Amino acid sequence: MAAPRGRLLPVPLAKGDTVALVSPSSAVDDTFDLQLAREVMEALGFEVRTGAHYAARRGHLAGTDAGRAGDINAMFADGEVKAVICVRGGSGAARLLPLLDYDVIRANPKVLLGYSDVTALHNAIHAQTGLVTFHGPNGSGSWNRFNADQFRRVFFDRELMQYRNVVDAGDELVQRRNRTVTITGGKARGELVGGNLTVLTAVAGSPYLPDFTGKVLFLEDVSEAPYRVDRMLSTLKLMGALDKIAGFIFGECTDCDPGDGYGSLTLEQILDDHIRPLNIPAYRGAMIGHIRQQFIVPVGGRVELDADAGSFRLLEPVFQD
C-alpha cells in the first residue's frame, strides 16, 4: 500500500464552470451516450469540454491507454476545467494508473466523479496525492431526480451530507426495498475508502491502494457469483486490509445471485464470515452501487458511520474554502 499522505481537498464547483468528460475505461456501446452525458452536464449548469480521445475505441476500450490517460492528465492540468467526469465504467482504468501524472493532479486538485471501474482512479489518486474524489453516477448513467439532487447538494450546496436510504414502503405494509441490515451495531469515525470490490482487489499489492488503517470501507459490485465475492473478501482479509478498518458499509451487489450446482453461500453468510468477526460497526444495503438511485460519496471524506441506523454522515467539508 502507498505511504499515507495528507488529505487534499478539491476546489468547489459552481454553475457556469467548465467540466470535462473523459473515458478512462470501456468505450460506449452507442455514441448517443456521449451526447447524453454532455446534455446532462449542461442541464446541471456547466460548460462542457471533452477529452481528445473520449470518443475513441480500441477493442473494448475507449482508445489507447496513452490516449485515455493523456485526457485525464490534460484535464487536470487545464486551469479552466473545474471537474473531471467519467463517461462510463466497464474495464480498463487500472491500465492507466502508471501513466497518470500525480504531480499535476496534486497541483490542480479538482472534482473527479464516477464509479464502478473508476474505483481504480479513486484509489490510486487518493493514495498518491491525498485528493478527495467522488464515487457516484457516471456521465452517461441515470440522472434521475434523486441523483441530480445528490449532485446539487454535494457540489453546489456543499452540504455536510447525511447518507440515509430513501424510505418508500410503496404498497407494502412494511418496507422491503432499500432496507439496511445491521451486521454489527455501533458507531465509527474515519475516512471513506473503497468502491467496486472487483476493481479494488484487482489492484491489491500495488502502490495504488490507500492505507486502510482506521478507515471506513465501503464496497459494491455487480454480476458476481457469491463465491467470487467470498474470494475477493478473502483477498482483503489476507492482505491485512480488513483487520485495519474502523467500520464497514456494503452497498448493493446487483445480480449477485448463486448459480446452479451444489449450492452457494449467501451474501449474508459471506459477510457474517468475513465482517462480523472484526467486531466493528458494519451494515449492508446502502444505496451505493449499480443501482438507479445512488449516493454520491467522497472517497477520503471523514464520516461517522451509525451501523444501527444504517446511515453515515460527513463530519467535515470536502471542498476548499
Q: Which residues are catalytic?
A: 116, 220, 290
Binning the chain into helix, strand and coil, the percentages to the nearest 5 are 30, 25, 45
> How is residue 209 written as a grid cell?
491502494
CA distance 312 to 139: 25
CA distance 85 to 71: 11
Burial class (CB in 10 A: 0-12, 13-18, 19+), 152: middle
Dihedral sign computed on CA atoms, order 96, 101, 102, 106: negative
> How is residue 127 written as a grid cell?
493514495
CA distance 116 to 43: 23
- C-alpha separations of 213 from 72, 117, 255 in Å: 29, 23, 31
> How is residue 11 written as a grid cell?
476546489
CA distance 165 to 50: 33
Type of residue at 178: N
Beta bridge partners of 298: 134
Per DSSP bridges, beta strands 18-22 and 47-50 are: parallel
CA distance 115 to 117: 6
